[in-house]
């Protein structure tokens, strides 16, 4: 039975029993605490927890999931996969244990001819929570299982909770017995791989608190509405129904494995290590295909980093199988064909998917060529010294060459050496801290989502700001310091929930509105507006006058100037997007955006940098569209109707059944968008494209100023031009030539100065050689040079000195100050290296004293730091090391 057929039978079965079929949510989770959708129940958490009223009493889905916490186990076990599909049926206060158990048994054991999955009851086992007598009785009532194949197990395996205070309950798991040839007798209680868990039924019936561990908490009572959350592993059922040994051999995965084996000239099943690599390739290619299909692109952060790691593990595995060239153009089409029956979008969007994947492979093959030499040198040095690969080398490979640390660890492990992960972790944390320091300061930490449960239960916050900038409403909720409060007093920062609002909440790339919330005796400045849960708009405010109380009448007042600038920028984003597609072609899809009053940022799918002429053309087309005064029309309609009209759905975005379509100039720009817009393109005023850069191997970014900010930018540049023409006494037409001439003169002068500085240093060779010392049989030249021009000059001097030392054991260590920072350079002769003296060790030692880091090859290395005053101490420490 094909995997897509199992999927279809699942959905049909539950739809016939009153369940609403819910399409799979994106792999990119809406939950801010999750990077990916990691389980089938994740999209339903707001309904299961009661945070948001469920739109249907019962539902079913086949949810796409990604888990990478066990990535090292992929390929080694029969059922560890990064991408998998979870079949689920859910009840939100509707049916409970009896129907959940009855449905599961019926679907599993009904014949294939009757629409079931056709499992033999003799092959099935069930576990229940040790105290759940009710579930045990229901299994006896609705199944044909004998008592010995219904086992009671403890909280560690058969009790579900989130690990936090909230809903929890016992669960019942269904297992398939692979047979005695696969392991020992005794059922799932043995925890033997012979028994494969295929379905878990969670009975969400209790409220827990004081959670001390997974198995230690306090049950405070039953939930008012008991819920059902189940999950059947589609891949696990597929490999059983298809009679294969593991999930990598099912119809959706095996074709990639076979193609990889063919490319490598290998036979699957002939060699264990090769088999593991082939399974890794098959799994990761499918995961990469599905992640890119949901809008994730390779990068060095977050989800993009996970995708990059998966793709690079594929490349690494293919190289270990002996294939060093590009293989993605062979593997990804095979995965597309295997998955498109269940997910047609992987075929329709394959142009985008393939370009993202192929570009990543091309980039990483170059990375391997350059980074591997550095890593191989570091690994060889570590093996010779019986030491670890330095953590700063691992960080350099990650930060500069794009080597995931996991890949560095794998290569080092294969060579039998460790990596200094402590130093690597420190450097990574320093980088993260710098990134956090650059983040927007205004985004404060929000309350726990459970605080909004009752507020969301009062209904959806109505946004009326398309037509009104001022609107009177009522205060439904106040949150202060993460907890509900009856009021917020002057000077406090609070979160305010209103029945309706005219203030835009940040979404769709558009930043939140600025404005005020005012009422009888109070006034509050709006700092931020967000949607922490679907349907609920929360205003973060600073109360500047009086006290805001629950149920008070409140008027939202949008800052009209800010909104005007924001609508200009958002419509400007659509215009720039259309201009990009007109110039670069239809493959230039928007891949992300951010806009606020006076500014827009647009990421788009394109591999190559834009030339000055292309940027100028895009800017001109954008401003011609503004001058044409195109009408901007917004309409609401069903999603399918909008797509039929040709409205662009942005890649990776999520849309409901009804959508808002924004036309600028009719079909010239037609996109799905909920943001606020101008009424005609002329209102945008002006677009000034100020920046174009790379944000990944397949994405570029343009930044533009809009409206009055664009005018101010042109005015500022005009002033600069006037100052330059006046100061240099040339007409504007000759300004560029004049500046180029001055630049050439400056470079020539700098080159002459550098030559003089180098000559000056060379004159010190006799003096430095005269001061050479004999340290433990090694002739050592240790010198402090004072202020120097550059590290290159010091390196050239060190090489001259090393050459003068001849073939005897010798070492040169020079330190100096360049651009206000200390540096140290070490060089060794071959005879010194034979005695175990390595330049990299000496540079690292000296740099450590200087407050920095260093390293390099055994014959020549460099380090730096921050404390110039410790140059003497650094040389003294190196002297002690050599003497010892």
Measure the CA–CA gap between 812 and 800, rounded to whole angstroms.
10
Locate 230 and state its tokens.
Answer: 């189940």
Measure the CA–CA gap between 798 and 781, rounded to whole angstroms.
9
Locate 616 and state its tokens.
Answer: 């100028």
Q: Is 570 annotated as a binding residue?
A: yes
Q: How many CA atoms lie within 13 A of 777 on its CB side?
A: 8
Measure the CA–CA gap between 724 and 605, rounded to whole angstroms.
38
Whether 539 contacts 500, CB under 8 Å? no
The burial class, CB within 10 Å (0-12 / 13-18 / 19+), for 793 is buried
Alpha-carbon dihedral angle through residues 343, 349, 353, 356, given to the nearest 10 degrees: -160
The burial class, CB within 10 Å (0-12 / 13-18 / 19+), for 144 is exposed
Measure the CA–CA gap between 666 and 625, rounded to whole angstroms.
12
According to DSSP, the residues that pair with 65 across neighbouring strands are 84
Q: Tell me which residue has tokens 């050439």.
A: 744
φ and ψ at residue 836, rounded to 5 degrees: 90, 10
Q: Is 673 annotated as a binding residue?
A: yes
Interhelix angle 97-109/133-142, nearest 10 degrees? 40
* Short-list 569, 576, 666, CA closest to 620: 576
Measure the CA–CA gap between 345 and 305, rounded to whole angstroms.
23
* Short-list 850, 854, 810, CA closest to 833: 810
- The Cα-based distances of 60 to 55, 108, 237, 307 in angstroms read 13, 16, 17, 28
Alpha-carbon dihedral angle through residues 333, 338, 341, 343, given to the nearest 10 degrees: -70
Alpha-carbon dihedral angle through residues 813, 817, 821, 825, given to the nearest 10 degrees: -20
Q: Is 589 annotated as a binding residue?
A: no
φ and ψ at residue 779, rounded to 5 degrees: -80, 120
Number of residues that this document lists for the chain? 884
* Short-list 541, 455, 459, CA closest to 492: 541
Measure the CA–CA gap between 187 and 184, rounded to whole angstroms.
8
Q: Is 677 annotated as a binding residue?
A: yes
- The Cα-based distances of 873 to 768, 784, 876 in angstroms read 18, 11, 5
Residues in the annotated binding site: 570, 574, 673, 677
Provide the annotated binding site for Zn(2+): 570, 574, 673, 677
């Amino acid at each position: 039975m094909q995997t897509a057929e199992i999927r279809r039978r699942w959905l049909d079965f539950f739809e016939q029993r009153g369940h609403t079929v819910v399409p799979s949510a994106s792999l990119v989770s809406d939950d801010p605490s999750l990077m990916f959708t990691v389980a089938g129940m994740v999209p339903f958490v707001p309904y299961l927890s009661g945070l948001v009223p469920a739109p249907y009493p019962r539902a079913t889905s086949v949810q796409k999931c990604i888990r990478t916490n066990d990535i090292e186990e992929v390929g080694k076990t029969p059922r560890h996969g990064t991408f998998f599909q979870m079949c689920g049926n859910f009840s939100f206060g509707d049916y409970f244990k009896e129907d959940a158990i009855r449905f599961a048994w019926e679907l599993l054991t009904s014949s294939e001819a009757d629409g079931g999955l056709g499992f033999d009851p003799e092959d099935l086992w069930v576990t229940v929570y040790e105290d759940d007598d009710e579930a045990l009785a229901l299994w006896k009532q609705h199944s044909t299982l004998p008592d010995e194949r219904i086992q009671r197990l403890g909280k560690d395996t058969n009790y579900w909770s989130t690990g936090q205070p909230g809903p929890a309950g016992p669960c019942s798991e269904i297992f398939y017995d692979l047979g005695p040839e696969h392991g020992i007798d005794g059922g799932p209680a043995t925890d033997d791989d012979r028994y494969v868990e295929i379905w878990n039924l969670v009975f969400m019936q209790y409220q827990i608190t004081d959670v001390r561990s997974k198995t230690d908490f306090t049950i405070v009572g039953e939930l008012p509405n008991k819920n059902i959350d189940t999950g059947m592993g589609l891949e696990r059922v597929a490999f059983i129904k298809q009679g294969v040994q593991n999930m990598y051999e099912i119809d959706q995965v095996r074709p990639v494995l076979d193609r990889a084996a063919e490319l490598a000239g290998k036979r699957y099943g002939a060699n264990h290590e090769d088999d593991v690599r082939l399974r890794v390739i098959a799994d990761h290619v499918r995961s990469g295909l599905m992640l890119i299909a949901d809008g994730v692109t390779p990068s060095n952060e977050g989800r993009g980093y996970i995708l990059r790691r998966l793709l690079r593990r594929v490349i690494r595995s293919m190289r270990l199988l002996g294939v060093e060239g590009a293989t993605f153009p062979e593997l990804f089409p095979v995965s597309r064909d295997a998955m498109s029956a269940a997910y047609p979008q992987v075929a329709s969007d394959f142009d985008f998917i393939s370009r993202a994947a192929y570009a990543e492979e091309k980039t990483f093959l170059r990375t391997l060529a350059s980074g591997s030499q550095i890593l191989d040198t570091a690994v060889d040095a570590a093996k010779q010294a019986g030491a670890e690969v330095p953590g700063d080398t691992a960080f350099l490979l990650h930060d500069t060459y794009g080597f995931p640390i996991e890949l560095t660890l794998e290569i080092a492990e294969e060579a039998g050496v460790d990596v200094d992960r402590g130093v690597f972790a420190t450097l990574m944390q320093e980088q993260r801290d710098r990134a956090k320091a650059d983040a927007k300061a205004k985004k404060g930490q929000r309350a726990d989502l459970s605080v909004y449960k009752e507020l969301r239960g009062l209904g959806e916050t109505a946004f009326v700001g398309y037509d009104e900038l001022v609107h009177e409403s009522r205060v439904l909720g106040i949150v202060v310091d993460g907890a509900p409060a009856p009021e917020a007093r002057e000077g406090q920062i609070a979160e305010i929930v209103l029945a309706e609002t005219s203030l835009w909440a940040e979404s769709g790339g558009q930043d939140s509105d600025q404005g005020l919330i005012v009422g009888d005796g109070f006034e509050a400045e709006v700092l931020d507006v967000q949607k922490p849960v679907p349907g609920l708009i929360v205003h973060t405010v600073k109360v500047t006058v009086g006290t805001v109380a629950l149920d008070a009448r409140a008027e939202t007042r949008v800052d009209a100037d800010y909104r005007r600038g924001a609508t200009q920028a958002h419509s400007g984003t659509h215009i720039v997007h259309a201009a990009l597609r007109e110039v670069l072609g239809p493959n230039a899809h928007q891949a992300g955006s951010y806009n606020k009053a006076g500014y827009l940022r647009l990421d788009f799918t394109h591999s190559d940098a834009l030339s000055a002429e292309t940027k100028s053309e895009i800017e001109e087309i954008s401003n011609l569209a503004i001058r044409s005064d195109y009408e901007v029309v917004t309409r609401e309609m069903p999603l399918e109707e909008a797509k039929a009209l040709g409205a662009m759905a942005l890649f990776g975005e999520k849309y409901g059944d009804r959508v808002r379509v924004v036309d600028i100039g009719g079909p010239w720009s037609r996109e799905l968008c909920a943001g606020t817009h101008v009424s005609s393109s002329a209102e945008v005023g002006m677009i000034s494209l100020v920046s174009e850069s790379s944000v990944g191997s397949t994405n570029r970014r343009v930044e533009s100023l809009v409206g009055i900010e664009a005018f101010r930018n042109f005015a500022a540049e005009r002033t600069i031009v006037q100052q330059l023409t006046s100061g240099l006494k040339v007409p504007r037409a000759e300004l560029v030539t004049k500046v180029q001439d001055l630049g050439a003169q400056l470079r020539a002068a700098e080159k002459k100065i550098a030559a003089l500085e180098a000559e000056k240093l060379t004159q010190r060779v006799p003096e430095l050689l005269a001061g050479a010392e004999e340290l433990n049989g090694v002739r050592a030249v240790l010198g402090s040079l004072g202020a120097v021009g550059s590290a290159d000059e010091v390196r050239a001097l060190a090489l001259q000195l090393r050459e003068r030392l001849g073939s005897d054991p010798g070492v040169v260590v020079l330190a100096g100050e360049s651009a206000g920072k200390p540096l140290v350079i070490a060089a060794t002769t071959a005879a010194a290296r034979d005695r175990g003296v390595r330049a990299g060790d000496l540079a690292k030692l000296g740099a450590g004293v200087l407050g920095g880091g260093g390293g390099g090859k055994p014959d020549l290395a460099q380090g730096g730091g921050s404390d110039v005053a410790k140059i003497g101490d650094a040389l003294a420490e190196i002297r002690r090391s050599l003497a010892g």
